Structure 1
Amino acid sequence: MSFVDSANITLFGKGDTLHQQVLASFPLCDLTEEDLSQNPQFCKLLVSLAQHVDSTGLTLPLKTELDKAEQKLQSHRRNWLRSQGLFLALKEMIQEHCVRKHYSTVPPDQNMFYETMEKCLLVVQCVRMLDPSSTTDKEQPNILGLEPQQVLQLMPSEKNVQRMQRGLPKELEKHLKKKCLSLLCYCHPEWENDSENLKCTKLSHLAGQVDKDKKRTESLKESVLEKTVLLQRQTRLYLSELIKCIKLLQTLILDHRLKIQTDLDKKKLDYFEGKCDLVVQKIKSELVDIQLDTYTPDAISAHRKMRENLESELKSCQEEKQHVEFKLASFELLGKEFQALAEEYSKLRQQIEMKNWALKEFTQYKNK
């Protein structure tokens, strides 16, 4: 390490605090301690730059010029705000006077005072609009072809203007005092019922209190900004660690999922086999219960008797079948001539039965 590097590190500190001090010197940079530790040369560069630039990245001479320009701008801004505030206060006084005229009778001198002030404000405003500034084009034609001198001729009489100027400080002070007391009551509603003298006494401390609140607000803003930067860094660190954990979890799942899945499938198979056996046993038990409810001892004995009768009838039918089959076999031995005689005999039997049925019907009809 060179002498310059040693001096820079000595300037910023030693050990683990170097990275924190570099990050504090460049809060707007999206860096982490891991980035600085992985790039030591870049860290040395930032240490060297911290001696020549501020936390926003501006060089020291440019920062000095920027501060002077800021002071000059603040001075012009204060002057403009002073004149603008006075102008708005005068317009509010005129508006309040117009409202009072509609609800109450106003003395003639007071009415003349506000009319003169309103005309003066309008003339001055028009002259300001007609008078080109140093930033505008002086050759640009005036509005409606008017010149500032022509508008100044519309000013009220000098006597009325002087009278208005003499009474203006008192009226303006009264108006501003009223607004200040309203502001005081807005900031502290509990002081609204106090006397006017007490309010004026408390009003002298209002500026200091507002300034204190403003400084406290700015301090809170800076604290919030610092906490926001810290939160962003911690969020990035948390996300990086979370990504690492997710990758590790994915690796564990891919490595052990098959083994775990096999064991799980085996346990599920054993479970379903046991459940199937249980269902089969339950079905058998239900069948036995149904049989017990259906076949009582009396029904079983009756079924046995019916079975015996059916078996005896079946036996007799089988014997009769054998006897008939024997006769048929003997008839088949006689040949085709006997078959023709059997058919003729069958026809004669049918005719005899038909005539017997007709005779029976005829006899029944005759008896009736």
Structure 2
Amino acid sequence: MSAAESTYVSTLGKGDSLHQQVLASFPLCDITEEDLTQNPQFCKLLATVAQHVDQSGLTVPLKTELEKAEQKLQSQRRYWLRSEGIHKALQELTQDHCIRKHHATVPPDQNMFYETMEKCLLVAQCIRQLDPSSTTNRDQPSVLGLTPQQMMELMPSEMNVQRMKQSLPRELEKHLKTKCLSLLSYYQPEWENESESEGLKNSKLSHLSAQIDNEKKRAESLKESSRENSVLLQRLTQLYLSEQIKCIQLLQSLILDHRLRIQTDLDRKKLDYFEGKCELVLQKIKTEMVEIQLDTYKVDTISAHTKMREKLSSDLKASQVEKHSVELKLASFKMLGKDFEALAEEYCRLRQEIEINTWALKEFTECKDK
């Protein structure tokens, strides 16, 4: 960095002042003050670059050349607009004449003037189409094989042309003045007053261009102000969104910490609540069962049923215990193998025979006693 650049950077200020001036020097760049704070060397680089470019990013020499080109372009544009305006005004004069002669009788001299002007315009337009300029291909074929010299033969007589040229400035001035007064009435309707003198109207008309120019400058100023406000609004919006994101993150962390702290108490309260609710439901079920029994049976019957249920429950428990004991013995018997299984079958067969013989002996004994 040179001494001049270092001096420039030092004169910009420090801290927030430097950041604000850098942001103002590059309004089109999507950077924030936080970016400049985190990158101080980049901030100094932008501060150095700011003395070589303008807010649009153009260098000083290029800006000068651009201004010269724009001035030249504006000069050429004014010249073209002046020629085009006169040409349009002449066409409007011929059109007004065509409309006027269909509604009223036109003096012969005026009729000759407008016909001569119309022919001159048509011939000039045709010659412009037939005569190629320096930017076109001169070898291209002409339209219908015509040449500009042939079109010049269609011009009106020299005397009529001279008369037309003498009267043309006066008629053109009158037509343009009428259009200017119409523009004045459109731009400032409150100025329209038939009783005003011609001089007063001309005075107001002479100030019209200055007023339009002031309005144009005012519109450009408002446009520039609107652009600056838009850039400022965009920057403030980014800052607001950044701060809002930070607030949301902080709020999320607070919510998470608070939720972790109260989660244990909340779970315990929920557990107590569900236990109490389950107990209440069980009590309600018991109550409903008692009501159903009372509606179905008498009190003595319910007491008998209760005793029967107790007796059956005890018998069921005893049977289950016996069943479990028998299953254990059976399992121990199965461990002895197939030989023991054959002995068990033989034992069962003998038991059956003994039971049958015992029953038969009992019956025989009873019959003998009778």
For residues 263 and 122 of structure 2, what CA distance do their matches in structure 1 show? 89
Report the CA distance shift for 1:19/1:161 in structure 2 as closer, same or farther (over 3 A). Answer: same
Residue type at the aligned position of 2:26:
F
Residue type at the aligned position of 2:18:
L
Is residue 9–residue 48 contact of structure 2 (8 Å, CA) maintained in 1? no
Q: Deviations over 1:113-132 (max 9, x none)?
A: 11111111111111112221
Report the CA distance shift for 1:241/1:185 in structure 2 as closer, same or farther (over 3 A). Answer: same
- State the 1:110 CA deviation: 1.2
Once the two structures are overlaid, the 10-residue window that deviates more, 93-102 or 8-17, is 8-17
- State the 1:248 CA deviation: 2.4
How many aligned residue pairs are there?
280
Which of 247, 252, 255 is equivalent to 2:249?
247
Tell whether 2:192 aligns with 1:182.
no
How is 1:60-139 mapped onto 2 (pairs within 5 angstroms)? Answer: 60-139=60-139
For residues 76 and 28 of structure 2, what CA distance do their matches in structure 1 show? 31
User: SS at the partner of 1:149?
Assistant: helix
Tell whether 2:9 aligns with 1:13.
no
Which of 218, 230, 233 is equivalent to 1:231?
233
Report the CA distance shift for 1:162/1:46 in structure 2 as closer, same or farther (over 3 A). Answer: same
TM superposition score normalised by structure 1: 0.69
Once the two structures are overlaid, the 10-residue window that deviates more, 179-188 or 1-10, is 1-10
What percent identity do the matched residue pairs reach? 71
Is residue 9–residue 47 contact of structure 1 (8 Å, CA) maintained in 2? yes
TM superposition score normalised by structure 2: 0.68
Report the CA distance shift for 1:251/1:167 in structure 2 as closer, same or farther (over 3 A). Answer: same
Residue type at the aligned position of 1:103:
H
Partner residue in 2 for 1:314 = none
For residues 261 and 96 of structure 1, what CA distance do their matches in structure 2 show? 91
For residues 126 and 45 of structure 1, what CA distance do their matches in structure 2 show? 61
Once the two structures are overlaid, the 10-residue window that deviates more, 12-21 or 84-93, is 12-21
For residues 39 and 143 of structure 2, what CA distance do their matches in structure 1 show? 65
Residue type at the aligned position of 2:220:
E
Partner residue in 2 for 1:209 = 211
Once the two structures are overlaid, the 10-residue window that deviates more, 13-22 or 175-184, is 13-22
Q: Deviations over 1:160-217 (max 9, x none)?
A: 1111111111111111111111111111111211424221121111111111111111
Is residue 130–residue 147 contact of structure 1 (8 Å, CA) maintained in 2? yes
For residues 130 and 39 of structure 2, what CA distance do their matches in structure 1 show? 63
Once the two structures are overlaid, the 10-residue window that deviates more, 257-266 or 6-15, is 257-266
For residues 143 and 247 of structure 1, what CA distance do their matches in structure 2 show? 76
Higher RCO structure (Cα 8 Å, ≥6 apart): 2
Partner residue in 1 for 2:153 = 153
Is residue 5–residue 44 contact of structure 1 (8 Å, CA) maintained in 2? no
Q: Deviations over 1:65-93 (max 9, x none)?
A: 11111111111111001001111111111
User: SS at the partner of 1:117?
Assistant: helix
Report the CA distance shift for 1:160/1:261 in structure 2 as closer, same or farther (over 3 A). Answer: farther
Report the CA distance shift for 1:140/1:260 in structure 2 as closer, same or farther (over 3 A). Answer: farther
- State the 1:2 CA deviation: 8.7
Gaps of 5+ in 2: 281-370
- State the 1:140 CA deviation: 2.0
User: SS at the partner of 2:155?
Assistant: coil
Gaps of 5+ in 1: 278-368
User: SS at the partner of 2:28?
Assistant: coil
User: SS at the partner of 1:255?
Assistant: helix
For residues 234 and 19 of structure 2, what CA distance do their matches in structure 1 show? 17
- State the 1:254 CA deviation: 3.2
Residue type at the aligned position of 1:91:
Q
- State the 1:260 CA deviation: 5.7
How is 1:248-267 mapped onto 2 (pairs within 5 angstroms)? Answer: 248-257=250-259, 266=269
For residues 266 and 145 of structure 2, what CA distance do their matches in structure 1 show? 96
